[in-house]
Structure formats: C-alpha cells, structure tokens
Amino acid sequence: MTSTTDLIPAPRALDGPLRCGFVFDERTTLWAGPGTGSTERWLRSVLGPALDLPLPPGPEDSPQAVRLRVDDTLEPEAYRLAVSATWGVEIRGGDPAGVFWGAQTLRQLLGPEAFRRAPVRPGMRYGIPHQTVEDAPRFRWRGLLLDVARHFMPKDGVLRYLDLMAAHKLNVLHLHLTDDQGWRIEIKRHPKLTETGSWRSRTKLGHRASPLWDERPHGGFYTQDDIREIVAYAAQRHISVVPEIDVPGHSQAAIAAYPELGNTDVIDTTALSVWDTWGINPNVLAPTDTTLRFYEGVFEEVLELFPADAAAFSAFVHIGGDECPKDQWRRSPAAQARIKELGLAGEDELQAWFVGHFDRWLAARGRRLIGWDEILEGGLAPGAAVSSWRGYAGGIAAARAGHDVVMCPEQQVYLDHRQAAGEDEPVPIGYVRTLEDVYRFEPVPPQLTAEEAGHVLGTQANVWTEVLEDHARVDYQTFPRLAAFAEVAWSALPAPAERDFADFERRMTAHYARLDALGVAYRPPGGPKPWQRRPGILGRPIDGAPPNR
C-alpha cells in the first residue's frame, strides 16, 4: 500500500488519507459508465492479473464497487478519485482520458505489486486508505520522443514504452521513424524504403569520433499492421502517436533506396548506402517535383496509418526540417533553377518553400504540420507548429509570431545526455543533466506574455538513440529522469528554484519499487551498475552548465 503523498506526478490536491479505507478482494466489482470502456478494459487486463482478481461487472450502488464515470463539470483530462470504506472507489474524469489518468493513480495507491503481470503474493488483499485525490494536468502536450531510426526498437519495445508513458500520465509519443541511418515504416508503393533503407551494414560504436565499429548489420522496420497496432494500443491508453518522416535533411536512407531523390547533378547518389555513422549528413533531398510527388505518396500512406481521430494531437504529422546542409543545393543547377523559378532569396527560402509545400498539402487533408525549429529559417509556414530543440529561442520566436510550440530544448530535456560527471557514465554525451536538473526544468520561458505563453502546447523529452543500442540502454538514459519530467509536464509546480526536490526524491523511493516491478533498467541513484557501464567507448561530454536560452 502506498501513501497518497508518494504519488508521481504530484496531484493538485488531496484530502486524507485516513486509517479506514477500501479493500480489494474477491467481492470487488467494476461499474463503468458511458465513455469509460477503455479504462474498464485496462483495469481488468492489467490490475486484475496483478492482484489475482476478476473485477467482474457489478451494480453501481455496491459498496464493494470501483465506479468509473465521465463528469463534464471537470476540465479535460482532470479526475477526482475518492476512496471510502462504506461506498467503495469512484473515479470521475472530465473526459475518458481523465478517468484513465485517475486509474493510473489508483494503481500507484495499490503499491508496487500492482505493476506486475501476475500476483507475487497470491491471496493477499490490498487496501487503500479513505481519501480524495483531485488532479488535472498543467500542459496538454506531455510528450516523449523515441528515436527508432538510429537503433531500431522492435514493436514490443514500443508497446512497452506506451505502458511506461501511461503510468506517468504522458500522452504524446513522437515516433522518429526515418533518418540517414534507417527507414523504419513500410510504404507499400515504395518497397525499397524498407528492402534497402531499413538496414545498414555496420554501426559506429559511440560518438562519431570513436575508432570503434560494430560490424554486425543492423536493421528492422514496422509493417503497416505493426503501425496500426501501435496506434491502437496507444489510443486505448489515451496517447496520441505523432509520426516523424524527415525532410529535406536526414534522408540518406531514402536516397540509398531511391537515388533519384538526391541531388544527382552534384553527386553520384547511386553510390550511397544507408549511413553507418552519426552527425549531420550532407546528402539531402533534391527540391524537385519528383521528390515532392514521392513524399506525397509516402505521406498518403502515413495519414492512413495514423488517422486523425478523437486523440488530442493525432492530427499532427512531424516533417523534421532540421539540420539540412545547403551545400549540395548551392552547387546544384537544378536547385538554383528552382530558386530562380520561384523568385526565392536563397537556399534558406528554398527549404521554407519545401516545408510550406507539405504544410499546405497536409492542411488540405485536415492535418497539421509540426517541425523542428529550423523551419523558422527563411519564413515559417502559416499553419505550422514548432518543436523548439535548439534551446528556447525558436519557441519564443514562434510563439510571438502566433504559432503553437512544443518545448523540448536539447540542453534541458535530451535524455540521451549524461546524468552525472563520473567516468562510469556509459558513452557520455552532452551536458550533465541530473534528476534534479530535469525536475527544475521550466517549459514556459519568462520572456513570453500570457497570450504568447498560450501557444505553448506543452513539453517533450527526447530520447535519441545513436549510442543507445538496446532497450536496457534506452531505459538507463530515460529513467528515472522521465519521472521528473512527467511531474514537470503534469503538475502545477512552483518556480524552478522553489521546487521541493527533497520531497520528490522521497517520493522516488516508492517509485523505484514500481519501476523495479515493471522491469525498468533505470540508473540507480548511486550510479551505474557494472553491467550498465560501457568502458572504452568514446562519448562527447560537454563541461559546464548548459545555456539557458
């Protein structure tokens, strides 16, 4: 049994707990009102096996019932969880998602055993003290980016991360599906994207300056049915999946599969293979009609696989737009002719034209484009939203121009960056970002007015996988910092300097037991275990405090 004060993310308000309460046993029933079916199914399929209880349907007025209901007097995603010894458990949500987040809190209150897949103490009955929890999220977009392009994460790993996100009340999975090092989504009209583009012959071990190589071929991709399963699984957990198809940079895997997509008047694109190292790649898409038509076909299939439905952010499609070197365009007669034909000022405006084309194309189909903050260069497409990654500046500029923003500054919430300065940290990348640093991250820059801040949809932690070769490495970099990030995204915290990190650390003591039950290979508070280290593999540590701009 867990105290309400051990909850993560921290709730908005609570009353209690008192000694008397409700006991889950063989008499416990489940009553689900209209709109709560996804939570009803989740409770039976997840809590039922963990507690060894069937949770059968029962009458609404039973004192042994767990009752689920939508209450539109509450705000969207808000919930009210009430526990009583005399009338059971009731979860009211402002919408179906709110009911589901209330069920996540109920699971935490039941203790770490509720996070297992089968009972570890058969016959044990779990009690929850009398109390009321009232809660609602600060931000609508509470995201996690998973880079499955650099190192492929098999489908079951993605489903597992959706469960981990749900347990932390995160609601947007940004799935980075394509890059220079791999194309991970089946496109039926362009089969070579996966036949050729989904695998590379070898992989750089560590930072790109490392002399080491893993000589094993690496690859994998999601079939279209895999994608449909991921999207449906996420929707059952009230998580939107935002796909990213990178254009016009980060595209060597696509060019290796279809050389006509590259700048054929500058280089021999037929000699390119899927990239086996890291960094910014000079081989970018050609700004030709052939390229536009090809990617329109790609996006047509992507839209079918990622339908815009009731999920909060399911209409968004991420097109990348970052780190697109312009050298090949400067040397390309075809690109220069296009600049002249369109009356553009130069290569930056050519990229803006490329982005603008897909902004209009997506908008005509009821979708919204989102891209990295480089899409600001040369003029921002009218309906585009911005993922602000190079610090806060891009997000500030976009919000001031009336564009929606997701704050994910590299220096603050790139979870592939190292967690401590010690030499034992595996493949150390970037600035030190401790658990406390992430807990004190503030997504809304103080420079924004209240009206401008209204354009901040929320925030996102990004997990890039150049040096994360398997799920254990992803777990180590992501946790426990994702728990701190989830509280930043969900809870109404005070200003960063005033946040009670000591209390968060205390609550993490209980939360580590939940992560253990879930099998998460997190970084222990005292540092990495011997098998979590990667001695001798070169990283790219940066000393000092990261810029806060």
**Residues recognised as catalytic:** 179, 250, 323
β-pairing verdict for 316-320 and 368-372: parallel
d(CA 437, CA 177): 29
Sign of CA dihedral 213, 157, 6, 115: negative
> In whole angstroms, what separates CA 272 from the centre of its chain?
31
d(CA 143, CA 103): 20
Name the DSSP letter for residue 414. Answer: B
Which value, in Å, is the radius of gyration of the alpha carbons in the chain?
Answer: 24
| Tokens 């981990």 sit on residue | 164
489: tokens are 């995204």
Sign of CA dihedral 541, 542, 545, 549: negative
Q: Which of 283, 206, 228, 227 is nearest to 250 (CA)?
A: 283
- 3 state SS of 406: strand
Q: Which letter, b or e, does each residue of 454-466 get, where b requires 16 or more Cβ atoms within 10 Å of its Cβ?
A: ebbbbbbbbbbbb
d(CA 477, CA 211): 23
Return the half-sphere exposure (C-beta side, CA atoms, 13 A cut-off) of residue 86.
0
- 3 state SS of 70: strand
331: tokens are 């040397």
d(CA 545, CA 491): 26
Q: Which of 78, 91, 230, 81 is nearest to 169 (CA)?
A: 78
d(CA 390, CA 245): 19
Q: Which of 181, 183, 184, 187 is nearest to 201 (CA)?
A: 181
User: Could you check whether the bond before residue 480 is cis, i.e. omega within 30 degrees of 0?
Assistant: yes
Q: Which letter, b or e, does each residue of 222-249 get, where b requires 16 or more Cβ atoms within 10 Å of its Cβ?
A: beeebbeebbebbbbbbbbbbbbbbbbb
d(CA 477, CA 275): 24
- 3 state SS of 23: strand
